[in-house]
Amino acid sequence: MIARVFISGFVQGVGFRQFVLRQAQHLRLTGWVKNVSDGRVEVLFQGPEDKIKKAVEECNKGPFLSEVKDVVVEWENASEIYKAFKIV
């Protein structure tokens, strides 16, 4: 299962990608996280649906200095297998 997640708000420059990386590693999810030029953070989580939902829940909270306004989740079928989770 794959979820593509777009997080908007005050989410760049506050350690959000590092926060997502730690959550994904803790939940043993694979995929990636990156900043988008429009100010959002984009995440691709791959793994069991229940663990992805937990990671998305954490994205709604964000790290200490962030201010999450919106989280959009798009569920997809896996077309690629990721071996680890990384910041890109």
List residues with catalytic annotation. Answer: 17, 35
Gap between the Cα atoms of 72 and 3, Å rounded: 10
Measuring CA to CA, which residue among 39, 37, 42, 43 is closest to residue 9? 39
